[in-house]
């Protein structure tokens, strides 16, 4: 009979395959654009989902490591790096298609414009959060506060996706994005409240 760790590894593989299938299904249900738009949409969707999974897995890393074993930490790191790369590929592909680097410049003319183009500030936020995790030893406990930028980045990219994301124009996808954003809010509150209470005591 397979060991518990082998079963857990199987669950991880199946979960990863399920994520890939989800991305492919969503892309196939969209209108068929030019190849560059496949790259733009695919990178955006992959980055969005993997950053969500990274946030969720980071919040519950200890119980997940107990269930899946130590290799789950590597899975978390792979998901984080994948999301980071995908979120970089997305604007690069847009810049190549537009023939301009202006797609990297944030806009602050109004709140709606900023949120519509919020993807322009998301990648730097995620990169800073990832760098904080990499430098957690020299930063000490402060690295966690910087790492919370992942939450801000996810909420901003959710607004960006709902407002202009090609994959999020249906009510189903917009509803899914809102649900995912609310889950991250709940995770942040649940994970932070115990620490505040402990600090007060």
Residue 32 pLDDT class (50, 70, 90 cuts): low
pLDDT at position 195: 56
- Count the Cβ atoms, other than its own, within 10 Å of residue 129: 25
Is the separation of the CB atoms in 79 and 68 below 8 Å?
Answer: no
51: confidence class by pLDDT, cuts 50, 70, 90: confident
- Could you tell me which of 28, 55, 78 has the C-alpha nearest to residue 180? 55
For range 17-45, the mean pLDDT: 71
Instruction: Give the structural domain span for 179.
Output: 4-200
Q: Which residues contact 131 (CB under 8 A, 6 or more apart)?
A: none
pLDDT at 153: 92
1, pLDDT greater than 50: no
Summarised one tens digit per residue, pLDDT across range 66-86 is 776 666 677 777 778 888 888
Phi, psi angle pair for 118, to nearest 5°? -65, -20
> What is the tally of structural domains in the chain?
1
- Burial status of residue 14 (CB atoms within 10 A of its CB: 0-12, 13-18, 19 or more): exposed
At residue 151 the predicted structure's pLDDT band, cuts being 50, 70 and 90, is very high
Q: Under DSSP, is residue 118 helix (H, G, I), strand (E, B) or coil? A: coil
Q: How far apart are CA 151 and CA 154, in angstroms?
A: 5
The CATH number that applies at residue 167 is 1.20.120
| 29 has a pLDDT exceeding 90 | no
Kindly state the average pLDDT of the residues 155-182: 88
Q: Mean pLDDT over residues 107-126, rounded?
A: 90
Average pLDDT taken over every residue of the chain: 79
Rounded Cα–Cα distance for residues 37 and 133 (Å): 32
Average pLDDT, integer, range 147-157: 91
């Amino acid at each position: 009979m397979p060991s518990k760790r082998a079963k857990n590894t199987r669950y991880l593989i199946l979960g990863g395959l399920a994520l890939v299938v989800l991305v492919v299904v969503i892309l196939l249900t969209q209108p068929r654009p030019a190849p560059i738009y496949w790259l733009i949409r695919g990178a955006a969707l992959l980055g969005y989902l993997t950053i969500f999974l990274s946030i969720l897995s980071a919040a519950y890393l200890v119980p997940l490591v107990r269930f899946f074993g130590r290799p789950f930490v590597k899975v978390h790191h792979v998901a984080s790096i994948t999301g980071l790369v995908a979120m970089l590929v997305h604007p690069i592909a847009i810049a190549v298609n537009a023939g301009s680097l202006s797609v990297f410049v944030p806009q602050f003319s109004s709140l709606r414009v900023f949120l519509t183009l919020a993807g322009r500030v998301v990648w730097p936020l995620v990169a800073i959060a990832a760098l904080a995790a990499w430098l957690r030893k020299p930063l000490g406990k402060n690295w966690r506060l910087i790492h919370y930028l992942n939450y801000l980045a996810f909420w901003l990219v959710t607004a960006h996706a709902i407002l202009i994301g090609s994959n999020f124009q249906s009510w189903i996808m917009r509803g899914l994005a809102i649900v995912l954003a609310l889950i991250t809010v709940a995770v942040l509150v649940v994970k932070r409240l115990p620490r505040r209470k402990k600090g007060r005591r």
